[in-house]
Structure 1
Amino acid sequence: MLTFEQKLEVIEAFPELTRKEVSMKRVNFQFEESLYDKKNVVYHLHPNGNGFVFVGDLPQYEADNRGLVNIRDFSASQLRSIIADSIDYLGQEPEPPYDKRWTNREGEKLDLVYEEPFWNIYTGKNLEESFGTFDDAEDYLLDQGFSERK
């Protein structure tokens, strides 16, 4: 486990982050160029080494319901990586909503809609299936003889 000072050294290597002192000797680091209301990348870093990094809904991390990952036991390389991912996440425009019509040879139509966090397939207004990933939803549609309408 890195000490507080070692974590500060890693975090302060990111010039795009601004240090903000908070209560009980904790420190936040904010990304002022964030495209979202959320600006904290590092949240409540404490002298005991505990702290959090915001990752939102990035799939490679197991975040709590606020989008935070505890970094208490992170190595320097893990800490650099998660901070870089957080900055990238906060600095990118969100993808436009996915809502595409799929058809089969008989002219039947299904709509594939991304409704966070699920990929839902609708027949008209009725939910037919729901999947955790786009690939699973696409595989289902292709197996059922549907193709994306261009």
Structure 2
Amino acid sequence: MLTFEQKQKVIEEFPNLTKKEVSLKRLNYHLDESIYDKTVVVQHLHPNGNGFVYVGDLPGYEPDSRGLHNIRLATEEELTQAIADSIRLLTTPYEPIEEVWVDERGNELVLLEELDAWNIYFEEQLEDSFGDYQEALDYLAEQQCTKKE
């Protein structure tokens, strides 16, 4: 496990992050050029080595409900990667996923990511809504739909 000082050194290798002291001797690191309201990349880095990196819902991480990934046990490489991924996430314009699926009768269904939901439309009418992508895929499989290439 990296010490507080070692984590600070890794974080401060990213010159576009700004350090801000918060309560209980913890530190936050902000990304001023974030294109979103969210600017905190590293949250509550504590002298005991605990802290969090904002990763949203990026694959490969286990974030909490706020999109924060715990870095207490992170290696230098893992911490560097998480910070780089966070910066990329906060500086890349969001493009919702849209997929076209076809049912067994040839009808087209559109799977669209909207506001933290996965919605399925048939002829511009909302057919169903799901909390995550896998739930929507399971529904489409039950309906014997195939993804249109």
Task: Output the TM-score relative to the length of structure 2.
Answer: 0.79
Q: Distance in 1 between matches of 2:42 and 2:129?
A: 41
| CA shift digits 1:44-96 (9 cap, x unpaired) | 10111111111111121110011101111111111101000000100100014
What is the SS of the residue equivalent to 1:110?
strand
Answer with 1 or 2: which has the greater Rg.
Answer: 1
Residues 1:22 and 2:30 aligned together: no
Q: Which residue of 1 aligns with 2:65?
A: 65
Q: Distance in 1 between matches of 2:75 and 2:129?
A: 44
Structure 1 gap segments, 5+ residues each: none
Q: Distance in 1 between matches of 2:105 and 2:130?
A: 20
User: Counterpart amino acid of 2:92?
Assistant: Q
CA RMSD across the alignment: 3.1
Q: Which residue of 2 aligns with 1:125?
A: 126
Q: Distance in 1 between matches of 2:67 and 2:132?
A: 21
Q: Distance in 2 between matches of 1:132 and 1:144?
A: 15
Task: Output the TM-score relative to the length of structure 1.
Answer: 0.79
User: Counterpart amino acid of 1:79?
Assistant: L
Q: Which residue of 1 aligns with 2:109?
A: 110
Structure 2 gap segments, 5+ residues each: none
User: Counterpart amino acid of 2:5?
Assistant: E
> How many pairs does the alignment contain?
145
